[in-house]
Amino acid sequence: MKWKRFACTLAALAWATFTSVGLAETSLYERSSREGLRELRRGNYPDAVRNLEAAARAAQSFGGGDARYSEASASLAQAYFAQGRYREAEVYYRRALAATEKRLPPEHPEVATAVSNLAELYRYLGRTEDAAPLHRRALRIRESNYGTEHLSVAESLYYLAEVLRAQRRYAEAERLYWRSVMVRSYLQGRDSPALWPSLNGLAEVNRALGRASEAGELYRRATALAEKALPAARLRTPLQDFALGDTEMIATSRGNSASLQLMPVTPLSDRERLLAAEHPDLARQLEGLADVYAAQGRFAAALELVRRVLSMREGALGAQHPEVAEAYGSLARVLAALGQRDAALTAARAATRQLSRQAEKRRWQDNFVLHVALLAERAGADRAALAESFYAVQQLARLPYALELFEAQKLIRPGETLLATLATDEAVYAWVVHSRDAVFLQDEADEKLRARLAPLLEGSKRVLFVAHGERQALRPALLAKSHALTVLPAVGYLAERPPR
């Protein structure tokens, strides 16, 4: 009897210990999750991450089949994303999706949410080939649960349309944008501010297809709704008209973002600072409106908003955050449109210096292209500009490092010529690099550039060809007819060739 009583006592103690540990983990999870989400909403990302990491650790004790496990993973992924820690965000969004798929039927609405979260991360990073099938899946699940007239369906339609527009699949993108507009108009009203992102997407599609009149009308409608939606539009001071060639617009120190000052700066009001802290998405919305203004040719208005976005982000996120660099890129584009090329180049340098540290650069490739384009007019005669543009273009390759011009020249063997190209919708750029010299060329069309390249490649026993950008320039098959040709995926692969 004694041993039975002893065994019962041990079992009771074990159960009490297990229960107390479980209650402690539950309490820790609830407190950390609540505080983490509150700090995330406030834009206090370090404290949000710290609390949500604690919540995720506590949720592991519940097991992958518990809803709190997937919720904690998704919340932590959102916090990592807000900090610009995109690799960690992907890990936890994938973990949240796997746990949700394990716990629920494949057509459950929560599965659609988890799929959409991961897809949006991929879309944001420019990984459209990964984002498209996931957004299609989320759309299909939501339509099967809610029908075609639901706000979550409108959201999926918009996200998928954004992906397709990035892929230049304009006809399908246009159809999905219109569906999103019609659903939101039916559910929220034709004058709802929620319509403006889809209307702006439609305007971008029409502009890409050469329908200037239709694009202009859509931009005007999107602008009116966006200004209605954004509180900063009511708070900002009257927009200033900045004269072209204003030399005091920007002071520079070799593009160092810490010392790059915008002049004159319109200070943020106390109310705007509060909004920036409590609503982290406000800066993104203002940046979107600035893009609409720029598309309409309203560059002074766009400049005012971009300067405010930059002030907000540097104050809330810190100078090294990718979204701060993105704001510098927006600033560079507006300044270039205003004809302030030197100031634009300084801003572009600030953007690409920070973005070059990102492992995944596809989202920001336009910033590197702009950097090259701003250097193009001086790279033909300026050796330093040529070397800078050569390094900048390599950031478009999917390689974690780039070579300086002098480093590449040391790796080029006798009789070899390195030919690097970048093709955009506006121009074609080429870098012809020999072991002792280098030449930069720019032209409007491949054929014209090919004719100018012929004498520079004459006498080369082998051409090492590296193409950058989404469009192929100087078709390798044509080069192979006149030269021994080696196609490299990136300039950096020169360093990986076996020794002679």
In a domain, 290, yes or no: yes
Dist. CA 370–CA 220, nearest whole Å: 27
SS3 439: strand
**Structure confidence at residue 24 (pLDDT):** 66
Q: Is 224 inside a domain boundary?
A: no
Residue 21 within a domain: no
Q: Taking the CB of residue 367, how many other CB atoms lie within 10 A of it?
A: 26
- Least confident window among 17-21, 42-46, 89-93, 460-464: 17-21
Cross-strand partners of 463: 417, 485
Residue 1: pLDDT band (50, 70, 90) is: low
- The answer on pLDDT for 269 being more than 70 is no
> Of 350, 371, 394, at which residue does a domain stop?
350
| Residue 251, beta-bridge partner list | 261
Q: Are residues 325 and 413 in the same domain?
A: no
Residue 273 DSSP class: H
**Using alpha carbons only, what angle is made at residue 452 by residues 447 and 457, rounded to the nearest 5 degrees?**
110
Query: Residue 435: inside a domain, yes or no?
Result: yes
Q: What mean pLDDT is predicted for residues 211-231?
A: 89
Q: What pLDDT, on a 0 to 100 scale, did the predictor assign at position 265? A: 37
For residue 151, being part of any structural domain is answered with: no
- In a shared domain, residues 240 and 343: yes
Residue 448: give its domain's CATH number.
3.30.420
Same domain, 331 and 412: no
* 309 shares its domain with 414: no
Asked whether 99 and 332 are in contact (CB, 8 A), the reply is: no
Q: What is the structure's pLDDT at 244?
A: 31
Q: Is pLDDT larger for residue 388 or for residue 474?
A: 388
CA 453 from chain center: how many Å?
35
- State mean pLDDT over 324-345: 94
Looking at the fold, whether 333 and 271 belong to one and the same domain comes out as yes
Tokens of 175: 């159809």
Query: Which residue do the tokens 């859509």 mark?
Result: 218
Q: Is the peptide bond before 264 cis (omega within 30 degrees of 0)?
A: yes
Q: Residue 318: give its domain's CATH number.
A: 1.25.40.10
496 band by pLDDT with thresholds 50, 70 and 90: confident
Which tokens belong to 272? 């705007």
Give the pLDDT of residue 258. 31
Other beta carbons less than 10 A from residue 70's beta carbon: 26
- Identify whether residues 237 and 339 lie together within a single domain: yes
Shared domain for 409 and 485, answered yes or no, is yes
Q: Is 5 exposed, middle or buried (0-12, 13-18, 19+ CB in 10 A)?
A: exposed
The answer to whether 364 and 358 have CB atoms below 8 angstroms apart is: yes
Residue 500, Cβ density class (10 Å: 0-12 exposed, 13-18 middle, ≥19 buried): exposed
The whole-angstrom separation of Cα 198 and Cα 184 is 10
The sign of the CA dihedral 411, 413, 415, 416 is negative
Mean pLDDT of 489-493: 91
Judge whether 41 lies within some domain: no
Min mean pLDDT across 128-132, 180-184, 278-282 is at 278-282
pLDDT value of residue 100: 96
* pLDDT above 90 coverage of the chain, percent: 57
- pTM for the complete prediction? 0.82
Same-domain status, 342 and 244: yes
Could you tell me if residue 129 is inside a domain?
no
Query: Domain limits at 336?
Result: 230-350
Of 241, 242, 245, the closest CA to residue 340 belongs to: 245
* 338 in the same domain as 243: yes
Q: Are residues 490 and 411 in the same domain?
A: yes
Number of structural domains (the chain) is 2
Same domain for 342 and 408? no
Report phi then psi at 470, rounded to 5. -80, -20
Question: What is the pairing mode between strands 462-468 and 484-487?
Answer: parallel
Q: What rounded mean pLDDT belongs to the chain?
A: 84
Closest Cα to residue 203, out of 252, 161, 255, 141?
161
- From the CB of residue 495, how many other CB atoms can be counted at a distance below 10 Å? 14
Closest listed residue to residue 467, CA positions, set 428, 439, 440 = 428
Assigned domain for 415 exists: yes
Q: State whether 342 and 271 are in the same domain.
A: yes
